[in-house]
Chain A
Amino acid sequence: MQHGKYRFIVGFLALPLIIYGVFVLSPFVQAFQISLTDWSGLVGTANFIGLDNFERLWESDDFWNALRHNVYMLALVPVVTLGLGLFFAFMLNVGGRRKKNEVVTGVTGSKFYKFVFFFPQVISITIVAVIWFNIYNPDPNDGMLNSLLGTVGLDSLQNSWLGEKSIALWCISAVMVWGHVGFYVVLFSAAMASIPRDIYEAALLDGANRFHTFFKITLPLLWDAVQTGWVYMGIIALDAFALVQIMSVNNGGPDGATDVMPLRLYVTAFRDSQFGYASAMGIAMLIVTMTFALLTMRFARRERVEF
């Protein structure tokens, strides 16, 4: 019945594979093809220009500027997000006071906190961006952050936030962290739940405190989840399109201070009508992202702890 089995499998897989091929693989291949042309996106004709687009990209200050900002975010956002995620997850699951019958518990009200942390994940990124844009409104009366600072007497900290060149990128990064921490809290909580309680019990009997249990037990046993989270957070930091496009001043400003690669790609394609050049950017992004993912996977690998 081997024959029948394959026919059966093919019958089920054919349609999804065709859809995948047409809508996923062929655009990939065509992006490579288009990146070698000067196609404007407006008319049906395009000329083959070889690697000119890539040469132009290599010499483009704008693109390097955008890439640099992505790299800054890549260096900071995953560390902060995962760090906070781990901390909160630990506090919610293990960090509480010892109770009578349980060896390890979360802080009081941990269920409620879990729900609250996860909340930003449920809201569309567009809405998150619009909400935060208004929080950052520089008006001392209408802007939430500035009026809050004014009320508590910290007027000196009032700022124009997204309008200030030196901190605009970090204002946006903060929103990125805020939006994703909850997801990792839930993720790490689930992973922690699978760590056998008796390990903690043994450690506590030996007199380990919270600090020790976290670094000696929880973190090593969670390493797989952390590593995966790192890759995904890195990809998110290399994107950042929606937040920057909606929140930033003058589309990636002030004066290019928040520009990121996907935004560059977007304006090149849809404002400047240079789809060929934009496709070359897409490919450059692909290379950067792949490199990051491979490096992370390679260097973050550790011996797996069996339990």
Chain B
Amino acid sequence: MGSTSAHNNEGLGRRNLIKRSAALGLITVPTMGFLSACATGGGTEEKPAAKETGTVSAKNPLGVKNGVALEAFIFKGGLGDQYAKDAEADYKTTYQAEVKHTGTQEVGPKLTPRFAGGTPPDVIDNSGANHLDMNKLSSQGQLQDLGVLLDAASLDDPNKKVRDVIHPSTLEKGKHGDKFDVLYYAFTIYGTWYSQKLLEDKGWAYPKTLDEMVKLCGDIKKEGIAPWTYAGKYPYYVHFNLFAQIAKIGGMPAWVEIDNLEPNAWTKNDAVKEVIEHYEELAAKKYFLEGSEGLTHIQSQTSWTKNKAVFIPNGSWVENEAAPTTPKDFGMSVGALLDGTGDKLPSGTLRGEPSEPYIVSAKGKNPLGGMELLRIMLSKKHAQNFATKVKSLTCVVDATEGMTLSPGLASASAAVKAAGDNLISLQLQEWYPALTDEKIGGLTGQLLTGDLKASEWIKKTQAEADKVAQDSSVTKFKRAG
């Protein structure tokens, strides 16, 4: 053919080149990482930085020295970093010291070389998708033991130690072995979220048991409203409730077996059967908003704030996230886990996960200052500031008492209080996201559209968990029962 064809080929060739180079980019990324990883081998044998110590006093129990600079690296995600800046400002005035602040979403990539080079910042909010591997940092001695901080007097009451003002599950979760070296500053509450106003208007009450839930869903459907919606694009949102409900009925020791990927942990647990059959029933009776299986979290939340559906499984960040579409008098509330049969845990049990992990570098220039900043953040003043700024709870117990809270936060706060010691924490998703989000998530999606039977869900979930347990390429974790 004539010259046109040659021209066409040329044009296409260029497109192809771009395509190829994009594909190669995918291969190049790991390669570059490989190279740079090799390049950062040495440099760990740094001499410990001379620690500057000041005079210990009642006001300064850690002995922070005046005028010594502090460097803070704060994850700037959904919660922003203003709350940390506010605490830093207090540090600045108290110790007449410079505070260097960095807000970032790339904590891991930015700080890996600095840890390797022995010049880490003093205090780090190690959150977000690109966070540092804390197990590794801890085992390499990079994390400051925060026991000193726990034993120091709290800022508000010299007679109370810091240990006494923060939540027990925060103390538990922050440990690597016996060493407490991670302070999870915030607290995320998971549960069934609803509009208090809608319930009151219709004369409904938040149910107490699974059976009551099914019954109420029937009443709701008669009114022409969908009882439930969920983020079908991310079915693990459903697990926020579903997993916790299993743990509530079956008890924590049985759930820990699931977390630890023990054989038959799913199949032998009767609570699994009860809970999954409950969801199967909801699906069979068409109690989920039609089309939920294709909605994103934002779309499902919007359907929910528009009162197209009554309940949604979610975490306490939803109040901030759904704020743009939430009507003023919506009365956002969270309900605790429901009662089943022969429950191992009492009514009111709630899933609350410590979040926003703060670490202090052991090999930084000013570890005492880093801990002092945390002590300032753990004061009532700053915990309340956090609640106001980002509508989220901190690990400081009862910090928000007497404050006027936003509806969702007030409800979450009340639920935590009602739960008392019965706050449960699950690890499965954090440890094995490929298992929970992709595999079990896929099954849950099918369960909720009625395409999968409960018995099949349990069988296949057990099979997937077994597969992970036998896969030597997946790093395993264990927690004590």
In the bound complex, do residue B37 and residue A44 qualify as a contact, i.e. CB atoms below 8 Å apart? yes
Shortest distance from the beta carbon of B6 to any chain A beta carbon, whole Å? 9
In the bound complex, do residue A278 and residue B30 qualify as a contact, i.e. CB atoms below 8 Å apart? yes
Shortest distance from the beta carbon of B84 to any chain A beta carbon, whole Å? 27
In the bound complex, do residue B38 and residue A143 qualify as a contact, i.e. CB atoms below 8 Å apart? no
Across the interface, A190 reaches (CB within 8 A) one of B8, B37, B291, namely B8
Q: Does B97 contact A (CB under 8 A)?
A: no
Shortest distance from the beta carbon of A30 to any chain B beta carbon, whole Å? 5
Contact partners of B437 in chain A: CB under 8 A? 250-251
In the bound complex, do residue A138 and residue B291 qualify as a contact, i.e. CB atoms below 8 Å apart? yes
In the bound complex, do residue B1 and residue A249 qualify as a contact, i.e. CB atoms below 8 Å apart? no
In the bound complex, do residue A139 and residue B303 qualify as a contact, i.e. CB atoms below 8 Å apart? yes
Give how many A-B residue pairs fall within 8 Å (CB-CB): 171
Q: Does B293 contact A (CB under 8 A)?
A: yes
Contact partners of B20 in chain A: CB under 8 A? 24
Shortest distance from the beta carbon of B116 to any chain A beta carbon, whole Å? 10
In the bound complex, do residue B31 and residue A249 qualify as a contact, i.e. CB atoms below 8 Å apart? no
List A119-148 residues whose CB lies under 8 Å from chain B.
136-140, 142-143, 146
Output the nearest chain B residue to A253 by Cβ-Cβ distance: B442
Q: Does B455 contact A (CB under 8 A)?
A: no
In the bound complex, do residue B291 and residue A146 qualify as a contact, i.e. CB atoms below 8 Å apart? yes
Output the nearest chain A residue to B4 by Cβ-Cβ distance: A194
Q: Does B290 contact A (CB under 8 A)?
A: yes
In the bound complex, do residue A137 and residue B445 qualify as a contact, i.e. CB atoms below 8 Å apart? no
Shortest distance from the beta carbon of A233 to any chain B beta carbon, whole Å? 11
Shortest distance from the beta carbon of B424 to any chain A beta carbon, whole Å? 25
Measured between alpha carbons, how far is A43 from B303 in the docked complex, in Å?
Answer: 44
Shortest distance from the beta carbon of B320 to any chain A beta carbon, whole Å? 22
List B251-296 residues whose CB lies under 8 Å from chain A.
290-295
Contact partners of B2 in chain A: CB under 8 A? 194, 307
Question: Knowing A44-B37, A194-B4 touch, does A28 contact B291 (C-beta < 8 A)?
Answer: no
Shortest distance from the beta carbon of A14 to any chain B beta carbon, whole Å? 20
In the bound complex, do residue A42 and residue B133 qualify as a contact, i.e. CB atoms below 8 Å apart? yes
List B114-165 residues whose CB lies under 8 Å from chain A.
133
In the bound complex, do residue B295 and residue A138 qualify as a contact, i.e. CB atoms below 8 Å apart? yes
Across the interface, B235 reaches (CB within 8 A) one of A236, A239, A250, namely A250
Contact partners of A232 in chain B: CB under 8 A? 12, 15-16
Q: Does A34 contact B (CB under 8 A)?
A: yes
Q: Does B50 contact A (CB under 8 A)?
A: no
List B6-65 residues whose CB lies under 8 Å from chain A.
7-9, 11-12, 15-16, 19-21, 23-24, 26-28, 30-31, 33-34, 37-38, 40-41
In the bound complex, do residue A163 and residue B28 qualify as a contact, i.e. CB atoms below 8 Å apart? no
In the bound complex, do residue A304 and residue B1 qualify as a contact, i.e. CB atoms below 8 Å apart? yes
Top 9 nearest A-B pairs (CB, nearest first) are A138-B291, A163-B294, A163-B293, A44-B37, A255-B442, A194-B4, A138-B294, A160-B294, A275-B30
A-B contact pairs, 7 of them (CB 8 A): A24-B20, A139-B295, A162-B233, A163-B293, A194-B1, A232-B15, A256-B442
Inter-chain pairs besides A228-B9, A262-B26, 19 sampled, C-beta below 8 Å: A38-B473, A44-B34, A136-B294, A160-B291, A160-B294, A164-B293, A221-B1, A224-B1, A225-B8, A249-B232, A249-B293, A254-B446, A255-B442, A266-B26, A271-B433, A272-B434, A277-B473, A282-B26, A307-B1
Q: Enumerate chain B interface residues (CB-CB to A < 8 A).
A: 1-5, 7-9, 11-12, 15-16, 19-21, 23-24, 26-28, 30-31, 33-34, 37-38, 40-41, 133, 232-235, 290-295, 299, 302-303, 433-434, 437-438, 441-443, 445-446, 449, 451, 473-474
